[in-house]
Structure 1
Amino acid sequence: MRKPARSYFYPNAMGRIVLLAMEEILGRNGVNAVLNLASLTDYINHYPPHNQDLHVPFEHISRMQSALEDEYGPRGGRGLALRSGRACFKYGLREFG
């Protein structure tokens, strides 16, 4: 018998930073398209609140990154992921010092 998979979570603030960084690079419509493709429509225009509660599953971030590559192709998706990663780092430093 297989054990159920364990779920891990990011703090809401980190999930918000990822979405804001993607919005900086892709624009609001680009983020909405990625979220639709990743089947994460709950996040469209409703980013997680700015707190430390653990409610953003790792799998959601993974699905966002996969959808980014699916939508823009491997080369375009990689470039956009790098740029959004740099923006995440910038926002993360600003928030967490």
Structure 2
Amino acid sequence: MRGGLVFWGLITFSFPQTVMAEITRIADLQRNQSVTVVGVVDHIPDEDEIMLRDESGKILVYLGPNATLPALNETVRVTGMVDDDGPREINATSLIRADGTTLAMRGYE
């Protein structure tokens, strides 16, 4: 689907319409909330999780078994659900790497 902008009825500029999730600051995350955050990989504490940081704080992100891990200091966009118990962390359902590669996660297993 394409959207457009008509300028004085003479010229039409077309652009693809995309639905972008609202980015939430890490400090503003609430438990049991579906979120999208953007941050830098600060630490890789385990084979299935990363520590993500933005200007407001840090959070652990669980990527699931056999996950492809982003690089340290890489900026990524993570979508998932904030855990409703235990330590505050995001169970990722997708991760978009700095090069635009999208990785689907199995974060709820």
Same fold (TM > 0.5): no
User: Relative contact order (alpha carbons < 8 A, sep ≥ 6): 1 or 2 greater?
Assistant: 1
Which one has the largest radius of gyration? Answer: 2
TM superposition score category, shorter chain reference: under 0.3
- The structure carrying a bigger helix percent of its residues is 1
